[in-house]
Amino acid sequence: MLTASTRLVALLGHPVAHSRSPQMQNAAFAARGLDWAYLALDVPPERLAEAVRGLAAAGFAGANVTIPHKRAVVAL
């Protein structure tokens, strides 16, 4: 269950529905007893900059980036 103290980490990509990263990362967080959650966020390329700013503004602990954003995110 997510709470106000849950630390959030994201995967940014498009598409990401097929990704197994959330299951793997959340299992690792649970095994360590961490109140963290890993979310896959489907972000269209034209909204990448906005999404990155939103993660920072929302206090996300970090993010991974996958196709098609790997090159574009460097400038952000």
- Tell me, yes or no, if 43 is annotated catalytic: no
CA dist., res. 13 & res. 64, Å (int):
9
Q: Which of 70, 74, 75, 76 is catalytic?
A: 70
Provide the annotated active-site residues: 70
